Structure formats: C-alpha cells, structure tokens
C-alpha cells in the first residue's frame, strides 16, 4: 500500500515540528560543508571548486533513485507527488536571472539564509536583496502576468517528455552525473591542483550503489494500470459491487442541467456506435486500455466540482474505463447505469429496438447516423419525472503541498 504523503494528517504541531527539524538540519549541514561562504560557492564559476555542484547533484540523483525505486516496489505513488507545472520561457529567463545573481553574489537564496544565520555581512546583504526582489516581483507581476503564465506544459517529467520508461531515464541521468563528477575533478586538478586520488575512496562505493539501484529501477519497470488497480481494489471494488458508482439515467439528466457542476461525459464506444448515437457533448474515447489511460491525465486536477460519467452500450466497457480512470487517480468518476441502451429505453422515443441484443452492443437502430443531433441526445428535463436514488457525491482531491529549492 503506498505511503501516505499528507503530513497534515499527523496534526499541525507534529507537522510543523517536522518542518522545523528538517529545515534546521538542512541549514546545519550546508554550513558544515562551507556553503554559507560566498567565496566557496563562487569558486565553481572559476572551475576551482565544484563541491556545491557535486553535493547538490548528488542529492538530486539520490532522491531520484530512492523516489522511483519506491515507486517501482509499490510503496510510493508518484502521481500523488507534487510536480510544479513547467512554464518553459518564464522558467528559462528566471533561471538565467537567478544564475547571474548567484555569480555576482556568490550565494543563492537558501545559502544566503545559512550565511546570514552565522552573521556573514555579504550573506545578510544578499538576503536583503532577495527579500526586496520578492517584494518588487509581487508588486509588479500583474504587468507581465501574460508572459509569466505562457508556454505552460503542465506537469511534465523527462520520461513524459521523451516518451521512454522511467528506469531508462534514471539510469542515464545517474551515469551522466557520475561522468560529470569525474570531469569536474579533472578540472579541479588543472585549475586548483586538487588531486582526485586524495579524495575519499568511499565515493566509488556510493557511485556503485547508485548505479546498482538505478539498474534495479530499470529492471522492475514502471507500475502499470493493473498494478495501481490491484492496490486500490480493496477500497474501490466494494463500491463497484455495491453499485455505489452506477448512476441512473435520470441523475445524469439532472447533471446535464446542473450549472453548479462541471459534467464530463466519456463515451467509451467505438466510432461507429458513437456516430450512430451519442449524448450531446459526450467525448468519444476508444474502448481500449491504452486510449483510456491516455485520456486520464486530462481529467486530473480539473474544477473541483467536476463529475465524470463513463458510458458504453451496456456497462461492461464503461466499468473497465471506470477502473482505469480510478486506478490513475481520477476522482468523481461514475458509470451510466445500463449504459446508452438504458438511456434510449427511457428517452429514445424514435429509436427502434433491435430484435436481438448482444452484450455491450447498441440495442437500437436509427435510419441514419444521427450522432448527437436528436431530442434523445439532450432531453428536456422538465418533461420527465423519474424516481431514482442519487449517488453522486463530490470528493475533493487531496491537498497538494509544493516545495522550493535551497
């Protein structure tokens, strides 16, 4: 079962205590490593001391290996981990500005706090500049808001970007990082006379462990939708079996006319049946695992009043789609009870029943492919007085907590 990430469940005092301990510990080790001194940090820009580069990049690849190793063995759900949206050009320009400030001042925001805590004058001046910059940014951001929110690529990770398995990315980044560490040592040898042979030999052991763990992540592979469903089935399957998520066509009609809720109808039927008849505004998705998986990311993080209703001719394909969406962290998903066939039995006055009805096949015929261009596609709710048990309950997504860099 994945480890719960919401520390607030522990209670506010315990949560804040954890934050304080982690923050003090982080600052303490930065100071012990000498990263509160601007001269040490600025030395990397002159290719004389790459300690900062090595430490921070080691932290990055270590965290990466441990996170995706935990994902691979099923104790962490990476989909529940906060990943900031990628705003390409604002991030690029912001990173450039931060880099220039780092080069001029020899400190970054995190290390300036460490230096200021030990009463270093340059760090205190730098920290004052950071605070002033934050204030100026906050007061002027409305003037460049359009640019600040441009080139939004959403939650984008390297595996998503390249379309390759996470394990491959983890292994490649670890190997590239180790090669960069070796190159940094060679530069230090030429510019500062530091002999790599004098460095602790334990770093080779650490490098070997990181490569081994990265190989394990690669071998185990990414969790599949089936894996996620197996983890969620204990809680979700009873809801399905007790028919808590199958909603009556009358309730769907109410949702279609409810301005307070944001309704998304997912029609998991093939293109032929969809063209024959579909509910107005229903989005067609092929009834395959891959197609529904591809649709899932677009249904995450929507308006909190969003209700998603999956439908097929009967319930079979819609039930499979419900499992896939639920396993992929999509919330407020329901199934149209009886499917499109049950809908047409109530609202399809002009539809002709087929003499033989096969499982999950459209049980009605039409003179032409009318799609969503008929009364039954969007009935007048005032003309029908249906009795049913309301089942839709809006469940809010878990709180997402972001972080920052040191």
360-403 confidence digits (pLDDT tens):
899 998 888 888 888 899 999 888 889 999 999 987 654 444 44
Q: Which of 213-227, 254-268, 386-400 shows the lowest per-residue confidence on average (mean pLDDT)?
A: 386-400
Q: Which of 340, 371, 203, 153 is nearest to 277 (CA)?
A: 371
The 10s digit of each residue's pLDDT in 326-368 is 999 899 999 999 999 999 999 987 788 888 878 889 999 888 8
Find the domain containing 302 and state its range.
Answer: 226-383
Q: Which of 235, 236, 222 is nearest to 74 (CA)?
A: 222
- What's the pLDDT at 4? 58
Write down which residue in 222, 239, 255 finishes a domain. Answer: 222
- What's the pLDDT at 3? 56
Residue 166's pLDDT band, with cuts at 50, 70 and 90, is very high
The 10s digit of each residue's pLDDT in 181-195 is 999 999 999 998 888
Same domain, 190 and 230: no
Same domain, 188 and 237: no
Does the predicted TM-score (pTM) go above 0.85?
no
Same domain, 160 and 43: yes
In a domain, 97, yes or no: yes
- 164 and 221 in contact (C-beta within 8 Å)? no
**What is the overall mean pLDDT for the chain?**
89
Same domain, 196 and 78: yes
The count of domains in the chain is: 2
The 10s digit of each residue's pLDDT in 6-45 is 666 666 788 888 889 999 999 998 898 889 899 888 888 8
Q: Can you say how many angstroms the Cα of residue 332 is from the centroid of all Cα atoms in its chain?
A: 17
Same domain, 128 and 148: yes
Same domain, 122 and 230: no
pLDDT (average), residues 69-89 = 86
State whether residue 325 is helix, strand or coil: helix
């Amino acid at each position: 079962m994945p480890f719960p990430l919401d520390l607030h469940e522990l209670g506010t005092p315990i949560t804040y205590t954890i934050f304080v301990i982690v923050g003090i510990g982080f600052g303490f080790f930065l100071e012990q490593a000498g990263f509160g001194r601007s001269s040490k940090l600025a030395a990397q820009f002159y290719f004389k001391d790459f300690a900062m580069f090595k430490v921070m990049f080691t932290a990055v690849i270590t965290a990466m290996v441990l996170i995706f190793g935990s994902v691979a063995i099923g104790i962490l759900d990476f989909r529940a981990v906060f990943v900031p949206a990628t705003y390409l050009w604002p991030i690029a320009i912001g990173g450039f500005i931060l880099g220039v400030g780092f080069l001029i001042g020899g400190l970054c925001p995190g290390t300036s706090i460490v230096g200021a805590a030990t009463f270093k004058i340059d760090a205190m001046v730098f920290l004052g500049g950071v605070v002033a910059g934050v204030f100026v940014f906050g007061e002027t951001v409305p003037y460049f808001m359009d640019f600040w929110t441009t080139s939004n690529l959403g939650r984008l990770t390297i595996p998503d970007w390249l379309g390759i398995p996470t394990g491959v990315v983890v292994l490649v980044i670890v190997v590239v990082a180790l090669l960069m560490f070796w190159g940094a040592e060679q530069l230090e040898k030429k510019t500062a006379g530091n002999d790599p042979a004098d460095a602790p030999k334990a770093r080779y052991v650490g490098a070997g462990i990181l490569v081994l763990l990265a190989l394990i992540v690669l071998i185990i592979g990414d969790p599949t939708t089936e894996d996620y469903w197996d983890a969620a089935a204990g809680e979700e399957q009873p809801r399905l079996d007790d028919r808590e998520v199958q909603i009556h066509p009358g309730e769907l009609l109410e949702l279609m006319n409810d301005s307070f809720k944001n309704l998304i109808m997912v029609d998991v039927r093939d293109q032929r049946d969809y063209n024959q008849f579909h509910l107005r505004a229903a989005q067609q998705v092929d009834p395959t695992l891959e197609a529904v998986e591809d649709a899932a990311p677009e249904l995450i993080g929507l308006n909190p009043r969003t209700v998603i209703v999956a439908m097929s001719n009967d319930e079979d394909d819609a039930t499979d789609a419900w499992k896939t969406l639920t396993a992929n962290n999509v919330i407020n998903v329901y199934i149209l009870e009886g499917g499109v066939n049950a809908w047409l039995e109530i609202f399809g006055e002009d539809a002709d029943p087929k003499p033989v009805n096969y499982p999950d096949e459209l049980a009605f015929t039409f003179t032409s492919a009318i799609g969503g261009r008929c009364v039954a596609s969007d009935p007048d709710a005032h003309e029908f007085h249906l009795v049913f048990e309301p089942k839709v309950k809006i469940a809010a997504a878990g709180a997402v907590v972001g972080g920052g860099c040191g």
